[in-house]
């Protein structure tokens, strides 16, 4: 998850224009995400992704990391958690509710780790204790308002730091595992 220094994943009106994803950071994302067994997201995140990534590699202005991620996104199985979405394409299954036993089955399946996206879905997974690792990309900006990464309703989680990395654009990776 990308987050501002003051803890927001998006500004008012779902503004993410402040995200500083340059080629270096995008290549790193691609390295991490290319080995995932599935992408799990909420409806809003899925619809944002589905509006851009299926054809992003056909735009002549697309950079190499964008072209690469378009392929990764299309080929990786996706699960979208939504009570309202009726159909989804691009290798996507719709699941209505987060059921811990079903998530445990997904985690145990072969094929790689699961990547979780979307603040509301992440909060649900946090409340249920279903997140094993956190990769938080802190962007060097204070935006002052928006949707927080960690809403007040999530429980306390003790973490162990696994890795930090500073990218050339000033974004800081904080990689933690549940202690």
CB 72 within 8 A of CB 111: no
* Domain coordinates in residue numbering, the chain: 2-178
Q: Quote the pLDDT of residue 172.
A: 98
Q: Quote the pLDDT of residue 119.
A: 83
The helix (H) or strand (E) run that includes residue 104 is: helix 100-108
CA 6/CA 164 separation, integer angstroms = 18
CB 23 within 8 A of CB 68: no
Q: Quote the pLDDT of residue 25.
A: 97
Listed residue (130, 126, 150) closest to 138, CA to CA: 150
Phi-psi region of 109 (alpha: psi -120 to 50; beta: other; left: phi over 0): beta
Q: Tell me the pTM.
A: 0.91
CATH placement of domain 2-178: 3.40.430.10
The CA-atom distances, in angstroms, between 43 and each of 47, 76, 118, 158, 171 are: 6, 17, 8, 29, 27
* Phi, psi torsion values for 23, nearest 5 degrees: -60, -40
Q: Quote the pLDDT of residue 9.
A: 93
CA 130/CA 124 separation, integer angstroms = 9
Over residues 25-75, the pLDDT tens digits come to 999 999 999 999 999 999 999 999 999 999 999 999 999 999 999 999 999
72-90 residues labelled b (16+ CB within 10 A) or e (exposed): bbbebbbbbbbeebeebee
Mean confidence (pLDDT) of the chain: 94
CA 157/CA 160 separation, integer angstroms = 10
pLDDT < 70 stretches in the chain: none
């Amino acid at each position: 998850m990308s987050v501002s220094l003051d803890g927001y994943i998006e500004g008012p009106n779902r503004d993410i224009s402040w995200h500083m994803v340059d080629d270096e950071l995008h290549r790193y994302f691609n390295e991490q995400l290319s080995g995932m067994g599935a992408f799990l997201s909420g409806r809003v995140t899925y619809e944002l992704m589905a509006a851009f990534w299926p054809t992003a590699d056909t735009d002549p202005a697309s950079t190499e990391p964008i072209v690469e991620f378009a392929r990764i996104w299309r080929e990786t199985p996706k699960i979208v958690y939504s009570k309202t979405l009726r159909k989804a394409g691009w290798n996507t299954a719709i699941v209505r509710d987060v059921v811990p036993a079903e998530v445990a089955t997904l985690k145990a399946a072969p094929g790689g780790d699961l990547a979780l996206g979307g603040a509301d879905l992440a909060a649900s997974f946090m409340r249920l204790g279903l997140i094993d690792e956190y990769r938080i990309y802190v962007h060097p900006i204070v935006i002052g308002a928006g949707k927080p990464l960690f809403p007040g309703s999530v429980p306390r989680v003790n973490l162990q730091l696994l890795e930090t990395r500073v990218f050339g654009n000033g974004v800081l990776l904080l990689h933690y595992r549940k202690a």
